[in-house]
Structure 1
Amino acid sequence: MFKNTFLVALIILASAETALAQQADPGKDITIPGPPVQVSEEAKRSLELTMGSQSLNAGYSNWRDVTLRGTYAQPRNVLQGEVSVTRRFDEDGAFLGVSDTYTFNDDWFGSVAVGAGDGAFYLPRYRVDAALYKKWLADRSLVTSVGAGYYNAPDGHTDRSLSLGAAYYFTSPWIVEGGVRLNRSSPGSVHTQQKYAAVTYGRDKQDLVSARYTWGGEGYLAIAANTQLVNFKSEEASVAWRHWLNSKTGLLISANRYTNPSYHRSGINIGIFHDF
């Protein structure tokens, strides 16, 4: 079922089904990325515009963001770019990211992504992520992945991560995913582990509904210019719906709920996408 398709590297299938998820959302307190999803050959070029709002408790101000993402697919490469403008913790920020997914053959493909923030304390100074994917079984319906990432923050801390994941594509219409990310943060050599599980129901060009749950530890999370949460537990649940209005254009919406020891955050993202 994977022949004659393009596979796009998404930072997260969730977050309004907003691709580049991954790397998709530059923030630190979000779901870890899962395996890429399929994109039909027809969707060789696409644009996606999303807007989101997040409500926080414990006296923190609400978040806002606007993101534009583009995809350009060639026979062996899927190129993606993203520009995000955000307001979090009463500070404006901007993030720019690009990625390339390359198909080596019918069984192997890989991705590389780089991104940088504008200096806002909650965005990366820069980040680099790479992953290698392998398809298994006679119909190539099982995809496993191994990835590595490096995150350099304006406050001086760094993250080095190793990710392992798997996705199984049923004949139709289910996809199930699971994975783990092992992370080492410095200074302090803080070791944490995050896991995720996700399920997607639907068909391309019609409707796709996904649900994801992420839980585990985080190393560093900046909540102010000189304040970080260190070595703490968090969890996030999200649901997303992508609906095609016709063969080229559609709408997307997602909702999420995130918790850590310092605050709870919940919100919604809405957007529109168009395939050229």
Structure 2
Amino acid sequence: MEIVVCVKQVPDTTEVKIDPVTNTLIRQGVPSIVNPFDKNALEAALQLKEKHGGKVTVITMGPPQAKDALKECLAMGADDAVLLSDRAFGGADTLATSHTLAAGIKKIGNIDIILCGKQAIDGDTAQVGPEIAEHLAIPQVTYVSKIEADGNKLRVEREQEEGYEVIEVSTPVMLTVVKSINDPRTPTVKGTMKANRREIPVWTVNDVSVEVEKIGLKGSPTQVRKIFTPKQRTQGEIIQADTARAAAAQLIQKLSDAKIV
């Protein structure tokens, strides 16, 4: 079973700053981590490999520092890793990103299952996984909470608001997983040391078959018209009184004075 897991390195903070000119995230100087949902996807891949055999490859698109995220995935147990990195890929929206990742997956070749986290915590769009499936013309199932494999058939549970939808699908297939599917393992010291010695191959725009007009900022149809940080709300007043009746009387008086009631 050949499995590819798409991962993303995301900012490890809520204090994200925005470039006022390009309206894109400023990542320099911000600590980064592997997107948590992508760790669930990797754990699902590793469990499938342990049960059915095969190989797990992780792939990401990003700057050179994204190698750190890939090495963490190798430390968890992934067999191989690939970084798609080129200035031509920069500034990509979800459509351009998925086009590049799909090209990288095609280069890897002979894939049975592609796994992604349901979304990235920085953009929260949940679009890249399904768009990769469209580029590759393969079926997709999103919000997967359980995977059972039998040859080239998968039986998966898809999480919904009021229950689960059970779907049977043939490989190759794209699956995006939810947090409840598993608890990702912690890399071992031995695995981390081994991963740190690995050389991560870097594929540029010249190494994958992409349409140049469909990658990077130029190939991104999404236009951000305006972006801003909402104003922080002022702290409300806490009414203190000896009894609930007295507190209610104070509240009514304050609402009356403010002409709310």
TM (norm. structure 1) is 0.28
- Give the structure with the larger strand fraction: 1
TM (norm. structure 2) is 0.29
Structure showing greater radius of gyration is: 2
